[in-house]
Amino acid sequence: MKKIFKIFKILLTVLLAAYSVIVIGFLFFSDKEDRYDFASHSQGSYLSQSMFEVLKFQNPQNDEIYFEQSVPFNKRGDYEKGFELLNKAVEYNPRVHLGYRGYMKLRFLRDFKGAIIDFDKLDKLTPNVIDTPWGEDIDFLRGEAYFGLGEYEKAIKHFDQSIENQGENWAEIQSYVYLGICETKLQNFDKAIVSYNRAINQSKYVCEAHLGLAKVYNEIGEIEKAKEHIIKAEEYFQYKRNDPYNEFLNEIYKSDILTLKSNLGV
Amino acid sequence: MISFLIALSITAWVYYQTTHRIGELEPNDRIDDNDFQLCNEDKIAEYYGMNTDYIGGKKAIKSKILNKLQFLDFKESGLLTYRFVVNCEGEIGRFRLKATNTDLQKIEVDSKNILEIENTLSELKNWNPAKNKAGNTYDSYYVLNFKIENKKIIDIF
């Protein structure tokens, strides 16, 4: 009995030691790619952050680790910590991360000037390349940043460039909507109508363009056309542009449609 | 015995690390409204995962409170970022603030201003709590930014 107990004790010790070695081995010594993937997929957990800390200790100049570690902080509104990490990623690999930082400054911080500085720096670093920060055309994003600053002429220049970059039928449909809004702000109503119609020619479901057209037609006194488009804006409202993280600068709301509908007596 | 203690410590550490997430807001009796209750303290979703929002969106928030806060003066430009909980009943509480200047460095904000903003935020009553496809509602976090320029709040998003 004593011998069995001793064997059991040794077996248990070996098992517990093996368990400890496996866990520590995974945390500190397993393949770096595997640990990076694990930490990325468990984004936001303390364990993920601890693994990134270990990886940074072992690879102090790996930009991807800093970038990935920054993401949950910025999503949760801890921009001091998130951008401290993101700035490191940019320092170690500006070509890869400047665009994303600009995108974050634009969409998460509404730091329009900071975003433009990052996009311009990236553009200079990559001559003859049309950059696509976080998957969006760089001139579309620059246009959005100038729009945020209220510099509509510069915004128009970049939205036009973005359409040229991507081609008329492949361009981001919201480029045309932004062009319409900018032209409206500048009182160029004819140009605004053309821009909104370019969006609708791509897809009739662009409710932002219908709302924009309804506003312009109302402004220039073509009330029947305004009514026609406000009804379409409401009909296609379910397709509006939105994002789970942030409000877009040109985001429309049901209240915008209902207010104009009421003013038009629809 | 030693191997047992090491294994136990590692297990406890891994458990803690996997069950806690950055950005969690612990209750604090000293600063929180004691009437504000969560439906499940152990399961608080993020706003972006389950469509937590204000009825009418950020535009409605801005139109309701931006003007009310114009009497406040701030020393530095930057961002006031509030993170708080929208409980499963659509009530809000547990406000926590991170204030940063334009270089995203931490700054101090006058406590009277903080109180005014939190009181104004509490007036927002039309929240859509986090919801799953079956229609069940959950507690969730929410983030709201106040942009300060030239001593005033100029945007809420």
Distance (Å, whole) CA A179 – CA A30: 52
Residue B123 identity: E
Mean pLDDT of A63-82: 97
A111 close to B (CB below 8 A): yes
> Does A241 reside within a domain?
yes
B3:A247 CB<8 A: no
B3:A20 CB<8 A: yes
Nearest to B157 among A13, A79, A246 (CB): A246
- Residue A240, pLDDT > 90, answer yes
Nearest to B83 among A77, A80, A253 (CB): A77
Mutate to test the interface with B, among A20, A48, A147 (most CBs of B within 10 A): A20
Say what the pLDDT of residue A263 is: 96
A221 close to B (CB below 8 A): no
Mean pLDDT of A245-259: 96
Mutate to test the interface with B, among A24, A53, A68, A75 (most CBs of B within 10 A): A75
Mean pLDDT of A23-45: 91
Say what the pLDDT of residue A12 is: 86
Residues A152-176 have pLDDT tens digits of 999 999 999 999 999 988 999 999 9
Q: Residue A144: name the closest of A122, A162, A131 by CA.
A: A162
Between residues A28 and A230, which one has the greater pLDDT? A230
SS (H, E, C) chain B: CHHHHHHHHHHHHHHHHHHCECCCCCCCCCCCCCCCCCCCCCCEECCCCCCCEECCHHHHHHHHHCHHHCCCCCCCCEEEEEEEEECCCCCEEEEEEEEEECCCCECCCCHHHHHHHHHHHHCCCCEECEECCCCCEEEEEEEEEEEEECCEEEEEC
> Does A248 reside within a domain?
yes
Contacts of B141 in chain A (CB under 8 A): 76
Say what the pLDDT of residue B15 is: 93
Say what the pLDDT of residue B96 is: 97
Q: Residue A75: name the closest of A99, A52, A42, A43 by CA.
A: A43
Say what the pLDDT of residue B132 is: 92
Alpha carbon of A24: minimum distance to chain B alpha carbons (Å): 8
> Does A54 reside within a domain?
no
Mean pLDDT of B40-49: 92
Say what the pLDDT of residue B21 is: 95
Between residues A220 and A14, which one has the greater pLDDT? A220
Say what the pLDDT of residue A27 is: 85
Say how many CB pairs under 8 Å bridge A and B: 108
Within 8 A by CB and 6+ apart from B50, the residues are: B130, B131, B132, B138, B140
Say what the pLDDT of residue B34 is: 85
> Does A148 reside within a domain?
no
Contacts of B7 in chain A (CB under 8 A): 16-17, 19-20
Say what the pLDDT of residue A9 is: 85
Mean pLDDT of A85-98: 98
CB B17 within 8 A of CB A38: no
Mean pLDDT of A52-80: 96
Nearest to A79 among B14, B46, B79 (CB): B79
- Residue A26, pLDDT > 90, answer no
A16 close to B (CB below 8 A): yes
- Residue A205, pLDDT > 90, answer yes
Residues B98-131 have pLDDT tens digits of 999 999 999 999 999 999 999 999 999 999 999 9
- Residue A1, pLDDT > 80, answer no
Residues B52-105 have pLDDT tens digits of 999 999 999 999 999 999 999 999 999 999 999 999 999 999 999 999 999 999
Say what the pLDDT of residue A101 is: 98
> Does A247 reside within a domain?
yes
Contacts of A13 in chain B (CB under 8 A): 3-4
Say what the pLDDT of residue B107 is: 96
A110 close to B (CB below 8 A): yes
Say what the pLDDT of residue A94 is: 98
> Does A56 reside within a domain?
no
Q: What pTM, to 2 d.p., does this model score? A: 0.92
| Residue A249's CATH number | 1.25.40.10
B-facing residues of A in 246-265 (CB < 8 A) are: 246-247, 251, 253-256
pLDDT tier at B147, thresholds 50, 70, 90: very high
Mean pLDDT of A195-218: 97
A34 close to B (CB below 8 A): no
> Does A37 reside within a domain?
no
Residue B88 identity: C
> Does A137 reside within a domain?
no
- Residue A17, pLDDT > 90, answer no
Contacts of A111 in chain B (CB under 8 A): 102
Say what the pLDDT of residue A14 is: 86
Alpha carbon of A248: minimum distance to chain B alpha carbons (Å): 9
Mean pLDDT of A198-226: 97
- Parent domain of A260: 172-266
What value does the CA radius of gyration of chain A take, rounded to a whole number of Å? 26
- Residue A117, pLDDT > 80, answer yes
Say what the pLDDT of residue A115 is: 98
- Residue A253, pLDDT > 80, answer yes
- The total domain count for chain A is 1
Q: How does the average pLDDT of chain B come out, rounded?
A: 94
Say what the pLDDT of residue B49 is: 86
- Residue A44, pLDDT > 80, answer yes
Q: Name the percent of chain A lying above pLDDT 90.
A: 87
- Residue A53, pLDDT > 80, answer yes
Q: How does the average pLDDT of chain A come out, rounded?
A: 95
pLDDT tier at A21, thresholds 50, 70, 90: confident
A75 close to B (CB below 8 A): yes
